[in-house]
Amino acid sequence: MAEIHTPYASLKKLLSLLNGFVAMSGIILVGLGIGGKCGGTSLTSVLGLSSAYLLHVGNLCLVMGCVTVLLSCAGWYGVTKESRGMLLFCILSMVIVLIVEVTAAIVVLLFFPIVRDVVLEHTFVTLRKNYRGYNEPDDYSTQWNLVMEKVR
């Protein structure tokens, strides 16, 4: 028997597709968080504590990715079981997450010039103090040279 094409059935399919996209974005955030956690340690060992904020960004991406995946699963469950309460919970939670993300982005953009100047100054001071030259055998110079070779 053929499926009836009603606006409600189309809305269910649209919501399922939307929850799929939300789950994919959550998985991407989890991947970015894992990459930030694993790749940030070598950069922190080279630049010192001035780049330690990368580890906190990795943790934030992991947490936000996991929350996003869980909320998309709750939304998908609400769509398949036609549970209004679950859909309401999912949508309100997503709105709260969106408000938190927009607020964090606004704060970062407002304070970006100040933070950039402080971080760059600390990085330059650390480099001037610890970097000895291109062919020096110490760990700091070797690691910095490896990072610069990868960037180039």
DSSP per position, 21-62: HHHHHHHHHHHHHHHHHHHHHHHHHHHGGGGTHHHHHHHHHH
Tokens linked to 53: 């904020």
18 in Cβ contact with 78 (< 8 Å) = no
User: Does 52 score more than 80 pLDDT?
Assistant: no
Residue 11 placed within a domain: no
The residue that leads in pLDDT, 131 or 23, is 23
Residue 143 placed within a domain: yes
Q: Which of 32, 35, 37, 30 has its CA nearest to residue 52?
A: 37
Residue 50 placed within a domain: yes
- Residue 131's domain spans which residues? 18-151
Residue 102 placed within a domain: yes
CA angle, residues 90, 92, 95, in degrees to nearest 5: 110
pLDDT at 1: 52
Residue 5 placed within a domain: no
The average pLDDT across 51-72 equals 80
The residue that leads in pLDDT, 131 or 106, is 106
Dihedral in degrees, nearest 10, Cα atoms 40, 45, 49, 50? -70
From the CB of residue 79, how many other CB atoms can be counted at a distance below 10 Å?
21
Q: How many domains does the chain have?
A: 1
Please state, rounded to an integer, the average pLDDT across all residues of the chain: 78
Give CA–CA dist 50/112, Å, rounded.
15
Q: What percent of the chain has pLDDT over 70?
A: 83
User: Does 64 score more than 80 pLDDT?
Assistant: yes
The average pLDDT across 117-121 equals 80
pLDDT at 91: 82
pLDDT band (50, 70, 90) for residue 27: very high
Among 23-37, 39-53, 68-82, the range scoring the smallest mean pLDDT is 39-53
Residue 8 placed within a domain: no
Residue 3 placed within a domain: no
